[in-house]
Amino acid sequence: MQLTTSMEHTADPSFQSLVEELPGCTIVLEHLAGAYRPQSPASVTAPYDDYKKALTLARFSNTYIKFGGLGEFCVRPIPLAAQFDFTEVPPLMEMAYEAFGPKRMMWGSDYPPVGGREGYRNSLQGVMEHPVFKSQDDKDWAFGKTAMEVFKLA
Protein backbone atom coordinates (compact mmCIF):
# COMPACT_ATOMS: atom_id res chain seq x y z
CA MET A 1 0.00 0.00 0.00
CA GLN A 2 1.24 3.48 -0.84
CA LEU A 3 -0.21 6.64 0.65
CA THR A 4 0.89 10.11 -0.37
CA THR A 5 0.37 12.87 2.16
CA SER A 6 1.67 16.34 2.97
CA MET A 7 3.48 17.48 6.11
CA GLU A 8 0.25 18.84 7.54
CA HIS A 9 -1.44 15.45 7.12
CA THR A 10 1.55 13.51 8.43
CA ALA A 11 1.45 15.64 11.58
CA ASP A 12 -2.31 15.25 11.95
CA PRO A 13 -3.53 13.18 14.94
CA SER A 14 -5.75 11.04 12.67
CA PHE A 15 -2.72 9.96 10.62
CA GLN A 16 -0.82 9.27 13.82
CA SER A 17 -3.75 7.08 14.97
CA LEU A 18 -3.69 5.20 11.67
CA VAL A 19 0.01 4.42 12.09
CA GLU A 20 -0.64 3.26 15.65
CA GLU A 21 -3.36 0.88 14.41
CA LEU A 22 -1.01 -0.72 11.85
CA PRO A 23 1.99 -1.98 13.85
CA GLY A 24 2.68 -4.73 11.31
CA CYS A 25 2.78 -2.34 8.36
CA THR A 26 6.10 -0.73 7.47
CA ILE A 27 5.60 3.02 7.07
CA VAL A 28 8.17 5.03 5.11
CA LEU A 29 7.84 8.78 5.46
CA GLU A 30 9.12 10.25 2.20
CA HIS A 31 10.91 13.59 1.81
CA LEU A 32 11.53 14.10 5.53
CA ALA A 33 7.84 13.49 6.22
CA GLY A 34 6.80 16.11 3.69
CA ALA A 35 9.21 18.93 4.55
CA TYR A 36 9.35 20.52 1.13
CA ARG A 37 9.70 24.27 0.68
CA PRO A 38 7.50 24.82 -2.42
CA GLN A 39 4.51 22.86 -1.12
CA SER A 40 4.80 23.31 2.65
CA PRO A 41 6.88 26.45 3.36
CA ALA A 42 5.83 26.47 7.03
CA SER A 43 7.31 22.97 7.43
CA VAL A 44 10.82 24.27 6.76
CA THR A 45 10.56 27.46 8.81
CA ALA A 46 11.24 27.80 12.53
CA PRO A 47 9.75 26.82 14.93
CA TYR A 48 9.01 23.72 12.75
CA ASP A 49 5.80 22.87 14.63
CA ASP A 50 4.32 20.55 11.99
CA TYR A 51 7.68 18.88 11.41
CA LYS A 52 8.10 18.22 15.13
CA LYS A 53 4.62 16.67 15.23
CA ALA A 54 5.41 14.48 12.22
CA LEU A 55 8.66 13.33 13.85
CA THR A 56 6.72 11.97 16.82
CA LEU A 57 5.88 9.07 14.50
CA ALA A 58 9.39 7.83 15.33
CA ARG A 59 7.91 6.40 18.53
CA PHE A 60 6.55 3.58 16.36
CA SER A 61 9.27 1.08 15.49
CA ASN A 62 7.66 0.33 12.11
CA THR A 63 8.25 3.89 10.84
CA TYR A 64 11.21 5.05 8.77
CA ILE A 65 12.08 8.39 7.22
CA LYS A 66 13.60 9.11 3.82
CA PHE A 67 15.61 12.18 2.92
CA GLY A 68 16.78 13.50 -0.42
CA GLY A 69 18.95 16.45 -1.29
CA LEU A 70 19.11 19.61 0.75
CA GLY A 71 17.63 21.48 -2.21
CA GLU A 72 14.21 20.16 -1.25
CA PHE A 73 14.08 22.48 1.73
CA CYS A 74 16.83 25.07 1.23
CA VAL A 75 16.75 28.18 -0.92
CA ARG A 76 18.70 27.55 -4.12
CA PRO A 77 21.74 29.84 -4.50
CA ILE A 78 21.90 31.95 -7.66
CA PRO A 79 23.98 31.40 -9.66
CA LEU A 80 24.23 27.67 -9.20
CA ALA A 81 27.89 26.72 -8.79
CA ALA A 82 29.63 23.37 -9.17
CA GLN A 83 30.00 23.29 -5.37
CA PHE A 84 26.37 23.67 -4.36
CA ASP A 85 26.66 25.39 -0.99
CA PHE A 86 23.60 26.64 0.85
CA THR A 87 23.90 29.75 2.97
CA GLU A 88 21.16 28.63 5.34
CA VAL A 89 20.25 25.02 6.11
CA PRO A 90 17.29 24.43 8.46
CA PRO A 91 18.04 21.77 11.12
CA LEU A 92 15.63 19.23 9.60
CA MET A 93 18.26 16.51 9.11
CA GLU A 94 19.45 16.89 12.70
CA MET A 95 15.88 16.68 13.97
CA ALA A 96 15.18 13.55 11.89
CA TYR A 97 18.43 11.95 13.08
CA GLU A 98 17.56 12.67 16.70
CA ALA A 99 14.08 11.19 16.30
CA PHE A 100 14.80 8.17 14.09
CA GLY A 101 18.56 7.55 14.21
CA PRO A 102 20.53 6.36 11.17
CA LYS A 103 19.12 2.81 11.28
CA ARG A 104 15.64 4.17 10.48
CA MET A 105 16.72 6.82 7.97
CA MET A 106 17.32 6.24 4.28
CA TRP A 107 18.41 8.31 1.34
CA GLY A 108 16.32 8.66 -1.80
CA SER A 109 17.63 10.32 -4.94
CA ASP A 110 14.44 12.25 -5.82
CA TYR A 111 15.24 11.49 -9.45
CA PRO A 112 14.23 13.01 -11.85
CA PRO A 113 13.10 16.27 -10.11
CA VAL A 114 16.54 16.68 -8.50
CA GLY A 115 18.01 17.30 -11.97
CA GLY A 116 16.16 20.59 -12.21
CA ARG A 117 17.04 21.64 -8.69
CA GLU A 118 20.60 21.07 -7.50
CA GLY A 119 21.55 18.15 -9.73
CA TYR A 120 22.09 14.51 -8.75
CA ARG A 121 25.79 14.84 -7.82
CA ASN A 122 25.23 17.90 -5.63
CA SER A 123 22.19 16.30 -4.04
CA LEU A 124 24.07 13.17 -3.01
CA GLN A 125 27.27 14.97 -2.03
CA GLY A 126 25.41 17.51 0.11
CA VAL A 127 23.80 14.90 2.33
CA MET A 128 26.75 12.49 2.37
CA GLU A 129 28.90 15.30 3.74
CA HIS A 130 26.24 16.52 6.15
CA PRO A 131 27.67 16.67 9.70
CA VAL A 132 24.63 14.85 11.14
CA PHE A 133 26.21 11.55 10.05
CA LYS A 134 28.94 11.22 12.63
CA SER A 135 30.51 7.97 11.51
CA GLN A 136 30.92 5.72 8.52
CA ASP A 137 28.52 3.31 10.22
CA ASP A 138 25.85 6.05 10.28
CA LYS A 139 26.38 6.59 6.55
CA ASP A 140 26.33 2.86 5.82
CA TRP A 141 22.88 2.61 7.40
CA ALA A 142 21.37 5.81 6.01
CA PHE A 143 22.73 5.28 2.49
CA GLY A 144 22.06 1.59 2.07
CA LYS A 145 21.56 -0.84 4.94
CA THR A 146 18.24 0.62 6.11
CA ALA A 147 16.73 0.40 2.62
CA MET A 148 18.10 -3.12 2.20
CA GLU A 149 16.30 -4.20 5.38
CA VAL A 150 13.06 -2.28 4.82
CA PHE A 151 12.63 -3.43 1.23
CA LYS A 152 13.96 -6.93 2.02
CA LEU A 153 16.74 -6.72 -0.54
CA ALA A 154 19.25 -8.72 1.47
User: In this structure, is residue 112 part of a structural domain?
Assistant: yes
Rounded distance between C-alpha atoms, residue 91 and residue 58, angstroms: 17
For residue 18, give its domain range.
7-150
Task: Give yes or no for a contact between 8 and 52, defined as CB atoms under 8 angstroms apart.
Answer: no
Task: Count Cβ neighbours within 10 Å for each residue of 40-62 and write b for 16 or more, e otherwise.
Answer: beebbeeebebbebbbebbeeeb
Q: 51 lies in a domain?
A: yes
Q: Are 75 and 86 in contact (CB under 8 A)?
A: yes
Residue 2: inside a domain:
no
Residue pLDDT tens, the chain, 154 long = 656 666 678 888 999 999 999 999 999 998 899 887 666 677 677 888 889 999 999 999 999 999 998 888 887 777 766 666 666 788 999 999 999 999 999 999 888 888 888 888 888 988 998 999 999 999 999 999 999 999 999 7
CATH of the domain at 12: 3.20.20.140
β-sheet bridge partners, residue 66? 106
Q: What total of structural domains would you count in the chain?
A: 1
> Do the domain assignments include residue 139?
yes
Separation between Cα atoms, residue 125 and residue 122, nearest integer Å: 5
Is 1 domain-assigned?
no
Q: 11-17: long-range contacts (C-beta < 8 A, 24 or more apart)? A: 11/49, 11/50, 11/51, 11/53, 11/54, 16/56, 16/57
126 in a structural domain: yes
Tell me, letter by letter, the H, E, C secondary structure of 67-133: ECCHHHCCCCCCCCCCCCCCCCCCCHHHHHHHHHCHHHEEECCCCCHHHHCCCHHHHHHHHHCCCCC
Evaluate whether residue 47 is within a structural domain: yes
